[in-house]
Amino acid sequence: MIKRAKSSIIQSSKAILGGEPVFKGTRVPVKALIDYLEAGDRLTDFLKDYPTVTKIQAMELLEIVKNQLS
pLDDT tens digits, one per residue of 40-61: 999 999 999 999 999 999 999 9
pLDDT, one tens digit per residue, over 24-43 is 999 999 999 999 999 999 99
Residue 56 within any structural domain of the chain: yes
Residue 26 within any structural domain of the chain: yes
We report the CATH number of the domain holding residue 16 as: 1.10.10.10
Entry pTM: 0.84
Domain residue limits at 16:
2-65
Residue 47 within any structural domain of the chain: yes
Residue 70 within any structural domain of the chain: no
DSSP string, 19-57: G--EETTS--BHHHHHHHHHTT--HHHHHHH-TTS-HHH
- In the chain, the number of structural domains is 1
Residue 51 within any structural domain of the chain: yes
Residue 61 within any structural domain of the chain: yes
